[in-house]
């Protein structure tokens, strides 16, 4: 169990910007915005968190109930894959 936690921490340290850019690219595509490749570290994390917060509000409000569901599902799939790449990459390979 501790080894799994340490593995996750190592992957987070090594790949947090890569995962962040993957999530930012998906969210930027959803919102028609520019995915700023120059962001890194805390700035990247804050940008992704802000867009994810916006997405949660819009999903809760029903903004995707009638239009944009295909793009939304693609975005969510990219986010899940980026997070799984850190939390449990074996699931992506299997």
Residue 10 has pLDDT above 80, yes or no: no
Residue 46 has pLDDT above 90, yes or no: yes
pTM of the model: 0.84
Instruction: State whether the Cα torsion 41-76-31-55 is positive or negative.
Output: negative
Q: Are 78 and 23 in contact (CB under 8 A)?
A: yes
Q: What is the pLDDT of residue 9?
A: 73
How is residue 64 written in tokens?
């995707």
6 against 19, higher pLDDT: 19
Q: What is the pLDDT of residue 88?
A: 81
């Amino acid at each position: 169990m501790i080894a799994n936690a340490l593995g996750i921490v190592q992957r987070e340290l090594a790949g947090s910007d890569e995962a962040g850019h993957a999530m930012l690219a998906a969210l930027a595509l959803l919102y028609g915005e520019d995915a700023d490749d120059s962001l890194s570290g805390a700035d990247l994390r804050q940008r992704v968190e802000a867009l994810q917060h916006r997405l949660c509000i819009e999903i809760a409000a029903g903004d995707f109930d009638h239009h944009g569901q295909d793009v939304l599902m693609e975005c969510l799939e990219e986010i899940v894959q980026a997070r799984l790449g850190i939390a449990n990459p074996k699931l992506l390979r299997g």
